[in-house]
Amino acid sequence: MNHKLTVIIIEDEKNICTFIETTLSAHDYKAVSAYSGKEGLSYITSLCPDIVLLDLGLPDIDGMDIIRKVREFSSVPILVISARIGENEKVQALDAGADDYITKPFGTSELLARIRTALRHSQMSANTPKNVEASYRSGDLTINFEKRLVTIADQEIHLTQIEYKLVSLLALNAGKVLTYDFIINHIWGPYADSNNQILRVNMAHIRRKMEENPADPKYISTEIGVGYRMREPDN
């Protein structure tokens, strides 16, 4: 018998829950809806889900508080689904421990893609480093992590040490948005200036080297005011 992945939906709008439940059931997920934060927390502790879809604007508990509470005892992937489109709130949710966010209204394909990405990263983090893929491939782009080699259409792309670190960090987290602060802390350390200028300059150099049209990047997209996201790898 097939083991279905369990998804808990914490959302007070029942029509949205119904839409998500129908979508997930059609793609072989087991969906359980909670219409309040308290009910959602209870389900998370009792059902041990594979992923949580969380609305931030709940009637009883703010979604940010739920993220923090869950992170005290679980590393379950949390995908925020919210009508809040402010950049600060997206950053706060990610910094509090959310894995990704999707802004209402959203389509079926985008929702399923975000769920697959969060589940893939959860599975990767549960494995030992030896189980991490040795390379990343998406379209013409290939990154060989062992050789520290980046090629596009079999042509080597010459990156500086910092540029390679940025590209490989994004590739290892492909499909997931990484906040500016996360990237800066990871590459330059916790005491680096939080000003994003050094990151933007390096990213501009990377795009000139890697993208056919740097103004319309194919591989690394900008989540304005939040961070960067590398394109999903090919299956």
Question: If you ran DSSP here, which 8-state letter would residue 207 be given?
Answer: H
Read off the pTM.
Answer: 0.71
Q: What domains can be seen in the chain, in order of their start residue? A: 5-126 (3.40.50.2300), 133-230 (1.10.10.10)
Longest dimension (CA), the chain: 55
Q: What is the pLDDT of residues 207-221, one digit of tens each?
A: 999 999 999 999 999
Which helix H or strand E contains 184, and what residues bound it? Answer: helix 180-188
Q: What is the pLDDT of residues 11-70, one digit of tens each?
A: 999 999 999 999 999 999 999 999 999 999 999 988 888 899 999 989 999 999 999 999
End-to-end CA distance of the chain: 25
